[in-house]
Amino acid sequence: MTVKQKPVVVLDSVSKVYAAGIRALDDVSITIEAGELVGIVGPSGSGKSTMLNVLGTLDRPTSGKVFVNGHHVGELTDRQLSALRARTIGFVFQQFHLAPGVSALDNVADGQLYAGVTRAVRLRNAERALIRVGLGHRIGHRPHELSGGERQRVAIARAILGDPMLLLADEPTGNLDTTAGESVVALLRELHTSGTAVVVITHDHEIADSLPRQVHMRDGRMISEAAIVAAVGRGSQEVSS
C-alpha cells in the first residue's frame, strides 16, 4: 500500500496585518503538495511577497495557522523554526546575492557555512549542486565572469544544496533576458520533476500560465480564474462606455 506524503506547506485561514491596518494577506488558505510546481501571480501590492515570507517561515502570520512538513509553525521556538527552515526550504531571489570575487563553487559552498559540516564536505556538496544545475564546467568562475542566467543558476544551486523539499523562487527571471529567463524556468521544471516542490512568485502571467498550477493574488486575497475573467470584462466595458 502506498503511503501518501504529507503536504509540504499548508496555510489555514492566514492573515497578515502590518502597522496602520495594512492587510497584506487576508484569510488565505492554500496547500502545497510534495513535488508540486505552482505559480503565485499578481500585480505589485497583491500580497505575493508576504505570501512567500509566510510560506518560507520568514514571517509569522497575524492570525491563522501555518504547517511546514506537518509541523505547526506557531508552536515552534525561533531556534526550532530556523532548523526546520534550513532542512526543508530553499530560497531564490530576483537579486542573485553572490559574493563578488568568489568562485561559483565557494558561493554555493557558503550556503552550508553554518550547517556544521567541514569545508571539504561543503565543497563536494557544492560541486554536485552546480553539476545538477548544468554549471559543472563553470565552478571556478567568479560572478563577473558569468552571464545573468548562469549567476541565477549558481543561486539556485546554493538554494538546493541541502536537498530541500520546497524551493521558493521570488521573481527568479526578473533580472534576466528572455532566453536566460526561459532557461531558468526550464531548470525549475527539472527540479520539480525530480521531486522538489517549487513555488514561483511572479507578476509575469506568461510564466505563470506555463506552470501546471496558478494561484492568483489581488489585495491580499486569493482569487479565482472566474473572478479574473469577470474583472477583465468589467474593465473592457468601462473602457468602451
More confident residue, 236 or 23: 23
Chain centroid to CA 224:
21
* Torsions phi, psi for 124 (to 5 deg): -65, -45
Q: What's the pLDDT score for residue 4?
A: 65
Rounded (10°) angle between helices 119-132 and 148-159: 130
> Which residue in this structure is represented by grid cell 479565482?
224
- Under CATH, domain 9-95+164-240 is a member of which superfamily? P-loop containing nucleotide triphosphate hydrolases (3.40.50.300)
Q: Each residue of 41-57: pLDDT tens digit?
A: 988 889 999 999 999 99
What does the pLDDT average to over 148-160? Answer: 93
Query: Average model confidence (pLDDT) for the chain?
Result: 88
| Phi, psi of 71, rounded to the nearest 5 degrees | -90, 130
Torsion angle, alpha carbons of 154, 159, 165, 167, to 10: -80
Mean pLDDT to the nearest integer, 174-198: 90
Share of the chain above pLDDT 70, in %: 91
For residues 39 and 208, the answer to whether their CB atoms sit within 8 Å is yes
Confidence label for 117 from pLDDT (cuts 50, 70 and 90): confident
Predicted confidence at residue 162, as pLDDT, reads 84
Higher per-residue confidence, 21 vs 226: 21
Amino acid at 191: L
Average pLDDT of span 202-227: 83
Confidence of residue 224 (pLDDT cuts 50, 70, 90): low
- Helix runs in the chain, H state only: 48-55, 78-88, 104-109, 119-132, 148-159, 178-193, 205-209, 225-240
pLDDT of amino acid 226: 43
What is the predicted pLDDT for the residue at 175?
85
Three-class SS state of 142: coil
* Contacts for 147 with CB less than 8 Å, ≥ 6 apart: 180
Q: Given the C-alpha cell 552571464, which residue does it identify?
A: 147
What confidence score (pLDDT) does residue 55 get? 96
Higher pLDDT, 112 or 71: 71
- Check pLDDT > 70 for residue 234: no
Q: In this model, does residue 238 exceed pLDDT 60?
A: no
How far apart CA 131 and CA 39 sit, in angstroms, is: 26
Other Cβ atoms closer than 10 A to 21: 6
- What does the pLDDT read at residue 240? 44
Collapsed DSSP state (helix, strand, coil) of residue 227: helix
Contact in structure between 112 and 161 (CB atoms under 8 Å) = yes
| C-alpha cell recorded at residue 23 | 492587510
Which pLDDT tens digit goes with each residue over 80-93? 999 899 889 999 98
- Run of H or E residues at 72: strand 71-72
Partner residues linked to 71 by β-bridges: 68
The Cα–Cα gap between 160 and 155 comes to 9
